[in-house]
Amino acid sequence: MRAWAMILGLFLASAAWAAEQDEAQGSVVRVRAAIQPYDQFRPWQKKAPYGLNGIGVVLPGGKVLVTAALVANRTEVGLEKPGSAEKCAAEVEAIDYEANLAVLRPEKAEFLKGFKGLALGPALKAGDTAEVWQLERNGELLRNQAEILTVGVGRYPNDEAGFLQYGVRVSLPKRDDSYTLPLIRQNQLVGMVMMYDRDSQEGTAIPGPMIDRFLQDVADGKYEGFPTLGVSWTTLRDPNLREEVKAPKSGGILVTRVNPRGTAGRAGLKEGDVILSVDGMKLDEDGNYRDPLYGLTAIGNLVRVRPKVGSQAKFLVSRDGKEMELAGTYDRRARDEAAIPTLAFDTQPRYLVLGGLVFQQLTGAYLQEWGEKWTERAPQRLVELFSFQQEKRPDPDKKVVFLSQVLPATINLGYQHYSGLVLKNVNGTEIRSLAQLAEVLDSVKEGNLIFEFTDDPGKLVLDASEVKARQEEIRKAYGISELRKL
Amino acid sequence: MKCWFLAILGAVISGCAKDGQLHEAKKNTVMVEVTSQVWDYRLPWNPGTVSSGRGAGFIVAGKRIITNAHVISGARNITVQREADPRRYAAKVKYVAHDCDLAMLEVEDPAFFKGTTHLDLGGIPELESVVSVYGFPIGGDRLSVTRGVVSRIDYNAYTHSGRESHLAIQIDAAINPGNSGGPVMQSDKVVGVAFQGFRGDVAQNVGYMIPTPVIRRFLKDVEDGRYDYYVDIAVRWMPLENPAMRKYLGLANDGRGVVVTDVFSEGSSDGYLNKGDVLLSIDGHPIESDGSVRLEGKPVQLEEIVERKFSREEVRLEVWRGGQTETVNVPLKPADMFSMYEILYEPPPRYVLYGGLVFQPLTANLMAVLAGSADLRLKQKYTMFATDQMYRETPEPVILSAVLPDPSNVYLRGLAGQIVREINGRKIRTLADVEPALAANGERSVIRFEGDSRPAVLKREEVDRSTPRIMAQYGISEASRTEVGSRRLAKGSYSQEEKK
C-alpha cells in the first residue's frame, strides 16, 4: 500500500515536471555576444575581442530581454535555441546601461516562432522564494531555488546612485551561458540576476517592476530612460542639525547641492531646503518613503523609477522654516548634459592627433581605463574635473579636451613626456570641445600653434606648416588609420 | 695582531695607509644609543610610544659629534660611548637638520673626549674608488668595518624628511641598521656619512652616504647658532629642446636655456621671475637646454648651484625676457609651500578637541595615519596643495581628523576626514583660527566642510557638559595644543607678517 502511493507520487511529479519543462523551453534562449571595447589609451584601435554568454528571456512579443552588461561594446550578438543549437543573429533594439537592461530583436522574425515567452510577474518581498534558471548543455533547464534576502536601492554596475534591487541567495552550479540569468516565479519573469558571488552564494537581481518600467519605455517607440533628480542630500536624524535648518518636528532630508539644470533645480529647489515629500509621498529623516509595493524604500526608487521622463514632479519643501510646494518636470538633463559623461559604451572615443600630440575628450570611460585604482593612477587634474564636475565644470557645453599622450616624432622633441594636460586655448581661442579644436587647428595654415594648458608646463608650441608636412609620416609610423575622430 | 689580519685581507687594495685610518676611526667613531618617543597622530594628545635604537656618529673638529637626524629624532635620552672607554656619557642634540638627515651632538663631560682627536672632512671620492664604513650595525656590539667601492654619484631622495632630494653617493658596502651616522672614510678622511640603503629584497649591495658638500653646508649653516633649512628657487622650468618652442621664444638654436613655467607665490622667485622667462645662466654658469650646468667639470642640475647657498644669499640669473637679456638677483629662502610634505619629528602634534571632534592641521604625519580612510577630496587636497598654490588661500588646511564617540555626537561620526571650510561663518585658514571661531558662537556652533557634506551643529551647553566626560573617558589631559612647536611653521607665519 505504501509502495503504491510512492510510485503514484513519483508519476504525478514527473508529469508536472514535463509540462513545466515545455513551458521553459519556449521561454529562454542562449545569447552569445562577441565583445570588443575600444582602447581608450589608443583610441584609434579596439582591444582584443572576447565572448560573453548568458541566457535571454523571450518576451511575449517575440523579443529577448538581457542585461545591458552582456551586450555592451558588442561587435555581434547571436541567439541560440536551447535544445537544437539553431542560431540566429540579433540586433539590440533598446539598451539602458544605467538600468542594466537591453532588448534584442532576432534578425529573422520567425526564429522565435513557437516560443510563448514569459510574462512579467509581481514584485517580490524579502523572504519570498523564486528560481534562477540555467541551461544544461543538452538544453534542459536547471532550476535553482533562490531566496529573496533584501529589497532595497543599491548600486548598479554602471550607476552609482543606484536603483531598486533584490538581494538573492542561491546556489548556482558552474554552467556555460551564466553571465545573465532570469529569476522566475511560477513561470513568470520576476527579475534578472546581474551579479553573483560564488563564495557567499549571494547575488543581486534587477526587480520585475524595473524591467516593466523599462519595457514600457521601449514599447512607446521613443526610449527616454530613467529620470534623475539632480541633488545631493543628507539624512536629518540629528536634532541639532534639524534645529539649525529649521526643519519641522519630523521627516525630511536636507539638500546639500542642487544641479541647476536638473529636475529639482529647475523646479526651484535650493541648497539648504528640507524635502518633506515628493509626489505626495512623505519622506522620513533617512530619505525613505512607504512604497505600496515594497514598504519602506529609499527615495531613489521614488524619483527615478516611479516617474517617467516628462511627468510632473511635485515637491513639498521647508525653506527657512516655511513650507512651500514646488513643481517641475522629471528629466535626465542633470546627467545627460554633464560636461564629462560617465558612460561611453559602444562608441569610439573622440581623438585628434596633430604633430604626434594626441588630444582626447574626457569621459569616465577614459579614467576607468586606468584600472580599479584609477583615482590614484590617472592624472590627478582629470580625476578632479570628473569627480567634482558639479563644482569644477558646471558649464555642460564646455567639454574637457586634454593632451593624453605624445607620440614621439622629431617635431615634438622635448614634449614627449607630457600627458594628462587639460587644454585651455590654442592661439588664444578658448577650446570648448574636440570638434571646435579641430576647426581652430584647421584655420591656422602657417605660423605658430600655441597650445595653452591649465597646468605645468603651461605652453607647448608647434610650427603649423611643419606639422602639416609631417602628419602623414607620423600616421604611417604609428599605424593609425585616421588621425581624427571628432 | 689585528693589523696583520687586516693587511692580509686588504693588502692589494690598501696597503699600510689603512692602518692609520682604522686607528683614527676607532678613536673617533662613537656609538649613539637613543631612547626616543614617536608622536601618535591618531591620538595627538598622547606622548607617544617609547622605543630604543642604536646608531653611530663621529667626532669632528671642535669636540662636536656628527650623526644622522634619523638616529636622534624624537630623542628623550641619548648616550654616547667610544670603543676605548666603557663608560656611557650623556649627550644632547645641538642642531638637527631633518631635510638633509644630519645632526650635531654635544657631550658636556670633558672626560669623554680624553684620547680622541677628530676626523677631517675630505672631498667627493672618485667612482670605483674604495671606501670603508665604520659603525655599530646589527650582528654584534663592537665597532664594525665594511668596505666597498663608490658606485654612483647622483641626486637622490633623502627618505627621512619624506620630500627632499640632495646629492648622495651610492656605495656597494653593506650598510645596515646601526651603521647610520657612522663615518665613511678614504685616505684618512671622512668622505661621507652612512645614512640609508635598500632592504635586501629590493636590491643588493646598495648603500648611500651623505657626501661632504652636504655635511659642510650643514656645518656652515649652524655657525650662526641656528639651522636654516635648504633654500629653493621655487620655480618650475621646462627644457628647451624643441626648435618651434625656441623660435617662439625668440631664441637662437644654440642649445642654451630653460623656460620658467611656474613661479611659486611666496617663494624665493616670487616678484623676481615670471612665467615665460628663459634662464640662460646661473651665477655665471651657462645653463644647457636640458637644465644642466657644469660644476667642477661635471654636469649637474642647475638647482645644485642653489643647493650650496644659504638663506638670504642671492643667486644671479641671466634671463631672456621680452627679447632682451636682463640680470636678476634672486634672494633665496626655503620653500615653505612644500613644508606640508615634510615628516615632522620633534614638534608635538597640534590639535583642538571640541565635543569629541578632533581638529588637526593637514600634515604628512596626519596623512600617514589617515591614508587608508582618506576620501578623494582629502587626498587631492594633499597632493595638489603646493602645485595648485592652495596655500595662498589656506596656509594650513584643518581636518576633522576624528570624532571620539560620545552620546552627544552620535550623528557626527560619519564626518571624520572632512576638510573644515568655516566655523560659525568664519573662514578657517589655519588651526589657530579654530578656537576663536568656536568661541564666537551663540548657543550653537556650525562647522561647514568643503564639498557637499552636511554641516556639523553642536550646542554649546552640550559641549560644555560632554568635554570633561570625553577627556576623562579617553585620557586626554589638554583640550587643545595649538602653540606652534615647529620652527618651520613659525617662520611661515613670520614671513606673512613681514608681507603685511
Q: Return the pLDDT at B222.
A: 94
User: What gap in Å lies between CA B369 and CA B377, rounded to an integer?
Assistant: 16
Residue B371 is predicted with a pLDDT of: 83
Q: Which residues of chain B have a CB within 8 Å of the CB of A388?
A: 377, 451
pLDDT of A201 above 60: yes
Classify each residue of A392-429 as buried b or exposed e, where b means 16 or more C-beta atoms within 10 Å of its C-beta.
Answer: ebeebeebbbbbbbbbebebbebbbebebbbbebbeee
A256 vs B contacts (CB less than 8 Å)? 452-454
**What architecture does CATH give domain B235-333?**
Roll (2.30)
Q: What integer is the mean pLDDT of B167-192?
A: 93
Q: How many residues does chain A have?
A: 486
Sequence-ordered list of residues with C-beta below 8 angstroms from that of B303, at least 6 positions apart, any chain: B233
Which chain B residues are within 8 Å of A466, Cβ to Cβ? Answer: 244
Nearest to A244 among B244, B248, B446 (CB): B446
Domain that holds residue A415: 351-485
**Straight-line distance from the first to the last Cα atom of chain B, in angstroms, rounded to the nearest whole number:** 70
pLDDT of residue A374: 96
Asked if the Cβ–Cβ distance from B242 to A458 is below 8 Å, we say no
Residue ranges, comma separated, of all CATH 2.30.42.60 domains in chain B are 235-333
Reported as half-sphere exposure (CB side, CA atoms, 13 A), residue B407 has a value of 4
Residue A25: what pLDDT?
65
Residue-level pLDDT at B8: 29
Average pLDDT over residues B333-354: 92
Length of chain B: 500
What is the mean predicted confidence (pLDDT) over A76-93? Answer: 93
Half-sphere exposure of A439 (CA within 13 A, CB side): 8
Give the H or E element holding residue B298: strand B298-301
- Catalytic residue flag (residue B101): yes
Same domain for A239 and A324, yes or no, is: yes
| Helix-strand-coil split of chain A, %, nearest 5 | 25, 35, 40
Does A377 lie in the same domain as A454? yes
> How does the average pLDDT of chain A come out, rounded?
92
- Cross-strand bridge partners of residue B354: B357
pLDDT above 50 (res B495): no
* Residue whose C-alpha cell reads 649613539 in the numeric block: B32
Which pTM value belongs to this model? 0.89
- Domain with residue A473: its CATH number is 3.20.190.20
Q: What is the DSSP letter of A410?
A: G
Residue A317 belongs to some domain of the structure = yes
User: CA-CA distance, A123 to A94, in Å (whole number)?
Assistant: 23
- Mean pLDDT for A241-261 is 95
- pLDDT digits over A304-344, tens only? 999 999 999 999 999 999 999 999 999 998 888 889 998 88
Per-residue exposure over A108-129, b if at least 16 CB sit within 10 Å of its own CB, e if not:
eeebbeebebbebbebbeeebe
What is the location of CATH 3.20.190.20 in chain B? Answer: 339-499
* Interface residue of B235, B237, B238, B259 to substitute, partner A, most A CBs within 10 Å: B238
| B118 catalytic per annotation | no
CB proximity A436 to B under 8 Å = no
User: Would you place residue A23 in the very low, low, confident or very high pLDDT band (cuts 50, 70, 90)?
Assistant: low
A 380-399 residues inside an 8 A Cβ radius of B: 380, 383-384, 387-388, 390-391
| pLDDT classification of B438: cutoffs 50, 70, 90 | very high
- Say if residue A215 is in the same domain as residue A255: no
Please determine, for residue B155, whether its predicted confidence score (pLDDT) is greater than 60: yes
At residue A121 the predicted structure's pLDDT band, cuts being 50, 70 and 90, is very high
- Amino acid B204: pLDDT: 78
Model pLDDT, residue A83: 83
Q: How confident is the model at residue A17 (pLDDT cuts 50, 70, 90)?
A: very low
Q: B454, A234: Cβ pair inside 8 Å?
A: yes
Q: What is the rounded distance in angstroms from the CA atom of residue B160 to the CA atom of residue B154?
A: 18
- Do A369 and A402 reside in the same domain of the chain? yes
CB A54 within 8 A of CB A193: no
Top pLDDT among B177 and A438 is at A438
**Which residues in chain A are contacts of B383 at CB distance < 8 A?**
380
For residues B378 and B384, give the distance between their C-alpha atoms in angstroms, rounded to a whole number: 10
| pLDDT for residue B499 | 30
Question: B340 with B333: CB under 8 angstroms?
Answer: no
Q: What is the pLDDT of residues B259-270, one digit of tens each?
A: 999 999 999 999
Q: Which of B14, B36, B99, B101 is catalytic?
A: B101
Cell of A57: 528571456
Helix B17-28, helix B2-14: angle, nearest 10: 120
Q: Once rounded to an integer, what is the mean pLDDT over residues B277-299? A: 93
Are both A182 and A296 inside the same structural domain?
no
What's the mean pLDDT in B198-225?
A: 89
- pLDDT at position A161 is 86
**pLDDT tops 90 at residue A15:** no
What residues of chain A, 255 to 284, have a C-beta less than 8 Å from chain B?
Answer: 256-257
Tell me whether residues B380 and A459 touch, CB distance under 8 A.
Answer: no
Q: Is residue B500 over pLDDT 50?
A: no
Last residue within a domain, chosen from A80, A112, A144: A112
A130-134, A459-463, A482-486, B204-208, range with the lowest pLDDT: B204-208
What's the confidence (pLDDT) of residue A458? 93
- State how many domains chain A has: 4
A457 touches chain B (CB under 8 A): yes
Question: Identity (one letter) of the amino acid at A106?
Answer: P
DSSP A342-400: S---SSPPPEEEETTEEEEE--HHHHHTT-TTHHHHS-HHHHHHHHTHHHH---TT---
CA–CA distance, B122 with B185 (Å, rounded to integer): 8
Overall average pLDDT of the B386-396 stretch: 94
Q: Could you tell me which residues come within 8 angstroms of residue B21 by beta carbon, excluding any fewer than 6 positions away?
A: B132, B185, B187, B188
Residues A474 and A364 both lie in one domain: yes
A375 in the same domain as A305: no
CATH architecture, domain defined by B339-499: Alpha-Beta Barrel (3.20)
The pLDDT assigned to B318 comes to 98
Please confirm, yes or no, whether B180 is among the known catalytic residues: yes
Q: Is A85's pLDDT higher than 90? A: no
Q: Which segments of chain B belong to CATH 2.40.10.120?
A: 2-224
pLDDT given at position B205: 82
Q: For residues B442-448, give the mean pLDDT.
A: 92
In CATH, the number for domain B2-224 is 2.40.10.120
Which chain B residues have a beta carbon less than 8 Å from that of A461? 242, 244-245, 247-248
Of A176, A199, A219, the one marking the end of a domain is A219
**C-alpha distances out from residue B102 to B93, B161, B399, B440, Å:** 11, 11, 31, 45
- Please check the confidence at residue B487 and state whether its pLDDT lies above 70: no
Mean pLDDT over B221-240 rounds to: 94
| Same domain (yes/no): A253, A324 | yes
In a domain, A343, yes or no: no
Q: What confidence category does residue B2 fall into, taking pLDDT thresholds of 50, 70 and 90?
A: very low
**CATH number of the domain residue A302 falls in:** 2.30.42.10
Query: In the predicted model, what is the mean pLDDT of residues B469-473?
Result: 96
**For an interface test with B, which of A160, A240, A467 has the most B Cβ atoms less than 10 Å from its Cβ?**
A240
Using alpha carbons only, how large is chain A's radius of gyration in Å?
27
Q: Are A273 and A318 in contact (CB under 8 A)?
A: yes
Q: Does A249 touch chain B (CB under 8 A)?
A: no
Put simply, the answer to whether B242 touches A384 (Cβ < 8 Å) is no
Of B157, B71, B162, B64, the residue nearest B116 (C-alpha)? B64
Active-site annotation holder among B14, B36, B73, B180 = B180
Q: What is the pLDDT of residues B344-367, one digit of tens each?
A: 998 899 999 999 999 999 999 999
Question: What CATH number is attached to the domain comprising A142?
Answer: 2.40.10.10
Residue A217 confidence class, pLDDT cut points 50, 70, 90: very high
